[in-house]
């Protein structure tokens, strides 16, 4: 696989590890590598674990691309939103093993997965768009509205509040928090448990449950493409 996304298959579990600089920035090349890795995982009929480097899942979109011009920014966000939609509809379970910080698009990776495990420690998880002067895109609003607890949705999206791992668990970014040294073990245990379910039933139920969300995201992606400012 690409150096940006390493791919390891073992026991029907595909581990995708993001490695792109110290903040694991999400660039067009990273998204292309993600899609290629998901293609391979689908061919391998594998449970997917997505993880990052020690201390960080991702700090968000590549700021060099985001500040290089409105069209480049819109194209990157659209590609990232399409990736999120793909993760939500992926035919096999998707787990994120978050090894630390998950900010902006990093947090949206959490909101696009079926099961999310974080680690204890002084880490920040959340959507900081309004903190850095970015109006939240339509896809981000709708994804957060669907996946976050109602009490945390406004605090997160409108106020830009960042959460520690326990707060992220309460808000709905995470499903479980473990000691950092237990992250890989916990992710593997979750994957092995998910291997026991019927994958056809999983896929069909996932698509039924998320039908309205996926349709909303499709419309939101088109709305966001029209925003060139």
Domains for the chain: give ranges and CATH numbers. 5-182+194-228 (3.90.226.10)
Q: How far is CA 221 from its chain centroid?
A: 16
For every residue of 62-99, DSSP letters joined together read -HHHHTS-HHHHHHHHHHHHHHHHHHHT-SS-EEEE--
Residue-wise pLDDT for 208-228, tens only, equals: 999 999 999 999 999 999 875
Least confident of 6-20, 26-40, 59-73: 59-73
Contact 99, 51 (CB under 8 A): yes
Predicted structure pTM score: 0.96
Burial class (CB in 10 A: 0-12, 13-18, 19+), 75: middle
- Using the structure block, give the residue that is written with the tokens 């449970």: 47
Residues counted in the chain: 229
Helices 138-147 and 211-225, interaxial angle, to 10°? 160
Residue-wise pLDDT for 71-119, tens only, equals: 999 999 999 999 999 999 999 999 999 999 999 999 999 999 999 999 9
């Amino acid at each position: 696989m690409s150096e940006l996304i390493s791919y390891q298959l073992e026991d029907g579990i595909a581990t995708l590890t993001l490695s792109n600089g110290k903040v694991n920035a999400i660039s067009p090349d990273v998204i292309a590598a993600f899609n290629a890795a998901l293609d391979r995982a689908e061919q391998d009929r594998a449970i997917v674990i997505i993880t990052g480097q020690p201390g960080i899942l991702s700090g968000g979109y590549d700021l060099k691309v985001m500040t290089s011009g409105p069209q480049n920014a819109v194209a990157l966000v659209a590609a990232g939103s399409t990736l999120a939609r793909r993760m939500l509809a992926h035919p096999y379970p998707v787990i994120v093993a978050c090894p630390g910080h998950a900010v902006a698009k990093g947090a949206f990776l959490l909101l696009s997965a079926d099961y999310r495990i974080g680690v204890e420690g002084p880490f920040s998880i959340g959507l900081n768009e309004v903190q850095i002067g970015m109006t939240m895109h339509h896809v981000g609003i709708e994804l957060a509205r669907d996946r976050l607890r109602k009490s945390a949705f406004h605090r997160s999206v409108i106020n830009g509040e960042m959460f520690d791992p326990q707060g992220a668990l309460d808000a709905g970014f995470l499903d479980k928090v473990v000691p950092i040294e237990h992250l890989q073990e916990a992710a593997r245990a979750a994957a092995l448990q998910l291997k026991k379910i019927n994958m056809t039933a999983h896929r069909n139920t996932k698509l039924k449950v998320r039908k309205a969300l996926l349709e909303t995201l499709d419309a939101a992606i088109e709305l966001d493409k029209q925003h060139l400012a």
